[in-house]
Structure 1
C-alpha cells in the first residue's frame, strides 16, 4: 500500500491509500469516494504535467483540480 496526498488548494488535503499496482483511474475512484465528487471530474497533476498514465510513488503530493 502506498499513500498519496492530494491537495486542491482550497483547504482540502486528502490522503489516499492505494495499492502500488493501481492505475491513476483506480486512484481517482478511491479519491472520488472520499471527497464526494465524480471521478470523471477529477484532474490530478504535478506542476504542469497532467497524470493520465503515469507512475505514482509512496508519499507523492499531487494537485487536485475539478473539471
Structure 2
C-alpha cells in the first residue's frame, strides 16, 4: 500500500509488477504481448523518429520542441 501511495498507482498495479518480478526475475518485467490490433509502426521507424528528434534538439539546444505531433512522421 505504501508503494502504491508513493507512486500514485493502484495497489493492484504494484501487486502485478511485484509478482512479475518475483516469479521470473528481471525477465518478468519486460512488456508482455497485448491483445488487439498488431502494431503498425515497427521498432526501426520508432528509432528513426527518436534519433531525428534528438539530433535536431542537440543542434539547437535553446529551441523548444520543433514539431507538431504529425510533423515527425513526414
TM-score greater than 0.5 by the shorter chain: no
More strand by share: 1
State the TM-score, normalized to the length of structure 1: 0.26
State the TM-score, normalized to the length of structure 2: 0.24
More helix by share: 2
Higher RCO, Cα 8 Å, sep 6+: 1
Structure with greater Cα Rg: 2
